[in-house]
Amino acid sequence: MHSQTTTQSEHVNTLHDKANQYLTHSISDYFNNSLRFEQFSLNACNIFLDYSKQNLDENVMQSLLGWADDMQLNTAIKGMFGGERINHTEDRAVLHSILRAPADKQKSVLGEQVANEIAGANQQMKELCQKLHKGEYLGCTGNAITDVVAIGIGGSYYGAKVAQESLKAFHQQSVKVHYLANIDGSAVAEKLALLNPETTLVIIISKTFSTQETLLNAKSARSWLASYLTNYDISDHFVAVSSNITKAIEFGVKETNILPMWDWVGGRFSVWSAVGLPLAIAIGYKNFEQMRAGAFQMDEHFQNAPFAENMPVLMALIGIWNSSFLGYNSLAVLPYDHSLRAFPGYLQQVDMESNGKRINHFGDEIKLTTAPIVFGQEGTNGQHAFMQLMHQSNEIVPADFIVSLTSNSDYHHHHTMLVANCFAQSEALMVGKTLKQAKANLTEQGLSANDVERLAPHKVMPGNSPSNTIVFDHFTPKRLGAFLALYEHKIFVQGVMWGLNSFDQWGVELGKELGTSILAVMGGESNDTLSSSTQNLISKYLDKRQ
Ligand SMILES: O=P(O)(O)OC[C@H]1O[C@H](O)[C@H](O)[C@@H](O)[C@@H]1O
């Protein structure tokens, strides 16, 4: 399916030529066209995208869309949804989206047997949720489970965590769901101190069941349970979600308490599978299904809307224009919504772990800048921190402002101020402030001519920073599903355009390997391949080790 490299398209050269000219184009000037906002915004699945504050026009869009055709984006989309093994370095299909599709679609793509496995896993999730909510899941001392600790990291953590926080209004009161991801012992101690072992269920989530952090945290949780519940069989306090059933059983999880995963669901896209179990427990299985339904709605939009009106495709092309052509190598993700405060962290994994690569399908270096450095924080906190750099440094940082029109709380006047700040920031980043304006402001404030001259340059803001504003009414499970799928597909499209495999993560694997080797050195093994810096740091640690 990979018929050509990114740079073989003539549109790429055209876009490079255009970029030089657009770099000095004022975004504000696009608004001389009174239809700018109408023409550069769209609605899909109850999510509204305003991209009128981007530094592009119809001309650039046409080249980007032409390039998408050259890269056979349409075929690539069909390939992914149809179950082609597009993750070619691991020889796997990429089918997280099938988990949110109706059963007949699952059957036609995966066959009857796997479709039945999916249905079985869903049934298992549903029953477990119901049992917990009714207080019928009992711990070994006969008390009902009241708390669930989900142990997992990366994709086996972030999706469920971010969705659970976003959907607070839908939380079930009967069971509290907690997460443990970091390997730091302080995190473990803090979490376990809140819990009663008699009424705690531990869900170990690991696709491979070999991730160091997850296994160590799970072992510590097991010791904690065992030390309190001596003389009891604690196996009912464990549930596992994994594609490695053997290892989960070896750990001590009952086979009937293991929910499956499949190799065609990538970790960072796995919240739609049983990896979403803690989330389903937190919000109820019906709401979890609604979230899948929302994502399916976005899947349908993505597969059927013409590219010029296709939200994930447009967001992908805009992002590529910014990073690969205009040379803006970062993306600030700024949710003006407290419930989405974990979203920047989640997106860091989904985006950077997917597209933070420089080699194309043919094994050659990609001649374009690929994934941006994604960072962000909830508004307005970010305004009092890194946004200074966005206004006045010599970096241009494109931004995604994400804002809910309705408040999640009764403090409506807070919400008005929050939204006002969001709109003010995107406007200020675009408009900036000229030297002339800065001087006029200072003169108005009554400063002496000398002070006006001295201070004015410090008050200048270059402006012209592009941004998207993504707007929705408050989150429902369905809308959140659509929103998460929007970013998933955006990232997929970007991978196709850059000609890279968005679904492996060899860089992360190297860290895991070295982590294991260094742990062995700390345990007494010698390893002369390590640098003297690392050897000495290990010695320093060993000198102090308690
Ligand atoms: O689910 P696990 O096998 O424990 O993997 C957890 C995580 O490990 C690594 O960080 C991978 O890069 C992630 O994509 C994955 O989600």
> What pLDDT is attached to residue 201?
98
The helix/strand/coil state of 409 is coil
Architecture of domain 2-86+292-431+465-498 in this structure: 3-Layer(aba) Sandwich (3.40)
Asked if pLDDT for residue 546 goes beyond 80, the answer is no
Matching CATH topology for 2-86+292-431+465-498 and 111-283? yes
* Token code pair at residue 423: 């709109």
Kind and range of the H or E element at 292? helix 285-304
- Note if 38 is an active site residue: no
ipTM: 0.94
Among 28-32, 101-105, 298-302, 507-511, where is mean pLDDT lowest?
A: 507-511
Residue pair 44/311 in contact (Cβ under 8 Å)? The answer is yes
Q: Is 289 a catalytic residue?
A: no
Ligand 1 centroid to 66 CA: how many Å?
36
pLDDT at position 56 is 98
pLDDT digits (tens, 9 = 90+) for 316-338: 999 999 999 999 999 999 999 99
Q: pLDDT per residue over 114-143, tens digit each?
A: 999 999 999 999 999 999 999 999 999 999
Active-site pick, 78, 384, 414, 540: 384
pLDDT of residue 543: 94
Q: Are the beta carbons of 404 and 472 closer than 8 angstroms? A: yes
Is residue 498 predicted with pLDDT exceeding 60? yes
pLDDT reported for residue 545: 84
Above 80 in pLDDT, residue 526? yes
pLDDT surpassing 60 at residue 4: no
Ligand 1 residue neighbourhood (C-beta within 6 Å): 153-156, 206-208, 211, 214, 267-268, 353, 505, 508
Q: Which residues is 50 bridged to in the sheet?
A: 41, 469
d(CA 412, CA 409): 7
Span 155-188, pLDDT tens digits: 999 999 999 999 999 999 999 999 999 999 999 9
| 384 is known as an active-site residue | yes
- Determine the atom of ligand 1 nearest the C-alpha atom of 205: 1
pTM for this one?
A: 0.96
Fold of 111-283: Rossmann fold (3.40.50)
pLDDT(445) > 70: yes
CA 327 – CA 315 distance, rounded (Å)? 17
Q: Catalytic one among 198, 289, 353, 488? A: 353
Residue 248 CA to residue 256 CA, distance in Å, equals: 11
Domain residue extents for the chain: 2-86+292-431+465-498, 111-283, 432-460, 506-545
